[in-house]
């Protein structure tokens, strides 16, 4: 069996802070972007993804579902690290957008 290192990134969109955005015709399509993928050794893989745009609260919902799927359903798969910057606890909402259109770069944050 292989062991996998997963490091997933989730962003909250600043554009949709209105808690009733779904009633206003929010129709943007969620997009996955792999920002880094490498094989560290024969048994260890590292992958880093960004999923956006998300409305308030969606990052937590998706993150918890992925954590349960990775930890409970796939043998030898585990989350090795979660890094939070300026986040007081794991249930906090990260509302800063970390993508710069002018430089076309993603600024990473990890929601724990």
Which of 23-32, 75-84, 101-110 is the most confident on average? 23-32
The answer to the question of residue 112 being in a domain is no
pLDDT at 101 (0 to 100):
53
pLDDT higher than threshold 80 for residue 103: no
The answer to the question of residue 111 being in a domain is no
The answer to the question of residue 11 being in a domain is yes
Q: How many residues does the chain have?
A: 112
The answer to the question of residue 82 being in a domain is yes
At residue 41, what are phi and psi to the nearest 5 degrees? -160, -175
pLDDT band at 1 (very low <50, low <70, confident <90, very high): very low
Return the higher-pLDDT residue of 70 and 4.
Answer: 70
Which domain range does residue 47 map to? Answer: 4-106
pLDDT at 90 (0 to 100):
63
Number of domains in the chain: 1
pLDDT, tens digit, for every residue of 28-84? 787 888 888 899 888 777 888 787 887 777 877 887 887 777 777 666 666 666 655
The answer to the question of residue 45 being in a domain is yes
pLDDT at 50 (0 to 100):
80
Return the higher-pLDDT residue of 25 and 104.
Answer: 104
The three-state (H, E, C) secondary structure of 1-63, written as one string: CCCEEEEEEECCCHHHCCCCHHHHCCCCCCEEEEEEEEECCCCCEEEEEEEECCCCCHHHHHH
């Amino acid at each position: 069996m292989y062991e996998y290192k997963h490091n997933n990134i989730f962003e909250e969109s600043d554009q949709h802070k209105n808690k009733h955005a779904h009633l206003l015709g929010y129709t943007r399509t969620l997009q996955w972007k792999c920002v880094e993928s490498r094989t560290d050794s024969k048994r260890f893989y590292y992958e880093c993804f960004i999923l956006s745009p998300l409305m308030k609260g969606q990052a937590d919902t998706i993150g918890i579902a992925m954590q349960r799927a990775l930890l409970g359903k796939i043998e030898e798969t585990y989350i090795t690290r979660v890094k939070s910057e300026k986040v007081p606890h794991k249930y906090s909402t990260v509302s800063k957008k970390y993508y710069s259109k002018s430089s076309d770069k993603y600024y990473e944050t990890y929601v724990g």
